[in-house]
Structures are given as C-alpha cells and as structure tokens.
Amino acid sequence: MFYDNKFRKQHFKNLPTKSLIMKKTILFGLAGATLLMFSCQKDNSQDNGSAVSATEQENWLTAKLDADFASSQEQVTAYLFSTTEFSKLVETPNVENLQFVLGYSNKTLQIKVIGVDKSGKELASMDSKILKDPAYNDKLVKLENGETSKTDKGSALLNEHLMLSKEAFDGIVAWQNKLKTVTDLNEVTSYEGARFQHYSLEAAVVAEMLKGGNTANIGLFLGLNAKGKVTTILVELDKNNAIKSKTSLTGKTMDNPEDVYDGARPSPPY
C-alpha cells in the first residue's frame, strides 16, 4: 500500500520520537530505582535501629566500668524524656509498666524506655536525650532544700514510689561522688554479680507526673539508693530543664520542687 507525503507527515508527527521514548524509559527506570532504594533504606534503617539497640544492651552487660567510663559518665547530668512523646507512650493501649532499659555506647550509659503489658510484651518505646550541664549542681540545690516530709498522694502506688527531694538529692550526689572515686562501680550497678538490665515502674506513676502543667521533660537522674545501688530518680523539668517548682491550690508558685519519684525495681532481681 502506498501513502502520499502529506499523509505520512500527518501520521508520523503525532508519534513520539525515538529520543522522547528513550527519555521516558529512562525517567520511569530512575523513578522505579529511586522507589526501590527508598524502600531498602527504610527497611535497613528499621533493622539497624533494632540491631544497635540490642547491641548496646549487650555491650552494657560486659562494659568495663573503669576511669574512662567514669570520666564520660560524669558529664551526664540527666536523661530527658519529652512529655509529649512520653504521654503517647503511657497512653498506648494495654501499657501497664515502664521499663527503663540500660545500654552502653561511647563509654557512656544509654537509657531508653519501653512500655509493656502485663505479660511483659513490648508495645511502645522512646529514646532519651542526654543532658550535659556542668553548672547543674546549682539547680539541684532546690532538691536539697525541699520538703522534709512526704505528702500523702491518696494512692498506695504513688506513695510507694514517692521520694523526699532531699533523699533524691543525696542519692544523686552519692552517685556523682562514686564516679569521682572510680571505686566499686561494678558492685553498685549489679545484683549478685549480674549487672542491672532495666528498672521497672508502673505507668500510672509517670501518668501522674504528666498531669502537671509547664512540664517540658521528665528528667531521669541516676543516684544511689539506701543499699548503695544505682537507681533511677524521676523529676519534672521545665522548658529550661530546671527542676519545676510546686504550685499551690491558689496558683501561687512555691519554693519546693514538684514531687519526685523513683524507679525502684531493678532487673535483676525483679
């Protein structure tokens, strides 16, 4: 069959050129490769996150708590948990208890919190940010000068974990002094030779702390308890990470700090 030139021009000008087809092919190929790469990176990121966390936990169990560790840990003031994120974790359905899990990286103790159900199954988690403030001892004085008696919280659970602010202050200072002397660090971080892996606390305790206004972070401080073992101490902090002052029923700010709680159940033995 024969076509005249006019027909061929009209017919072929509507067809994509070879160059255009190649460009489209390349673009589609790049788009597909990019999507595949993103997918792989996302999967790898999730896997690496889990692997790093597990590795840090394992490293903590065998970490050498020597002068290098003590020097690095001395720079740590507290571990910060954003109240916004903490609220989401505590409000996760079926979360009953919180576990402050210990890890080890860069010669420093690392801490994250996971929410678990009654059976201990992990349902949610969040990392902490390390606060380093060389001048923070001036802010700790508020704990030292706090109330000399505990206020009944109307709950056996809250009263069980409620601490005197002076008790919290003494514990924090005792841990700081222990790091300076670099003595018995393995002993104070272990139970019968087995290093503490995490500290447990009922989620309801943190939920109570989150009710207060103007609390930007929950600060987790390390301290020594009455038995001379490392424990966790939870304190409400404002947007400047200073210890929050208590507010009276009339709305007046008082000199005393907000209630301080401990995370008293280390594993082992619990």
For every one of its 270 residues, what pLDDT tens digit does the chain have, with 9 covering 90 and above?
434 444 444 443 444 444 444 444 444 444 444 433 433 333 333 333 335 479 999 999 999 999 999 999 999 999 999 999 999 999 999 999 999 999 999 999 999 999 999 999 999 999 999 999 999 999 999 999 988 888 899 999 999 999 999 999 999 999 999 999 999 999 999 999 999 999 999 999 999 999 978 899 999 999 999 999 999 999 999 999 999 988 755 555 667 899 999 987 999 999
**pLDDT at position 51:** 52
85, exposed or middle or buried, with CB in 10 Å at 0-12, 13-18, 19+? middle
Q: CA of 207: how far to CAs of 14, 58, 261, in Å? A: 68, 30, 12
Tell me how long the chain is: 270
Residue keyed to tokens 């401990």: 262
Spatial distance between the Cα atoms of 250 and 232, rounded to a whole number of angstroms = 32
Tokens read off for 12: 């072929």
**pLDDT at position 197:** 97
Spatial distance between the Cα atoms of 190 and 208, rounded to a whole number of angstroms = 30
Spatial distance between the Cα atoms of 28 and 39, rounded to a whole number of angstroms = 17
Residue 254 parent element (H or E): strand 253-257
**pLDDT at position 22:** 46
For residue 199, the 8-state DSSP code is: E
Of 73, 58, 67, 72, the residue nearest 230 (C-alpha): 73
Of 62, 144, 56, the residue nearest 101 (C-alpha): 56
Q: CA of 80: how far to CAs of 56, 154, 165, 167, 242, in Å? A: 18, 28, 19, 21, 12
SS3 218: strand
**pLDDT at position 113:** 96
For the chain, the helix, strand and coil percentages under 3-state DSSP, each to the nearest 5 = 40, 30, 30
Q: What spatial distance separates the first Cα and last Cα of the chain, rounded to whole Å? A: 91
Residue type (1 letter), 166? K
Q: Is the pTM of this model over 0.85?
A: no
Of 185, 237, 248, the residue nearest 215 (C-alpha): 237
Angle between helix 137-144 and 165-181 (nearest 10): 140
**pLDDT at position 2:** 39
Spatial distance between the Cα atoms of 42 and 34, rounded to a whole number of angstroms = 12
**pLDDT at position 148:** 82
**pLDDT at position 247:** 72
Pairing of strands 194-195, 190-191: antiparallel
Spatial distance between the Cα atoms of 246 and 127, rounded to a whole number of angstroms = 27
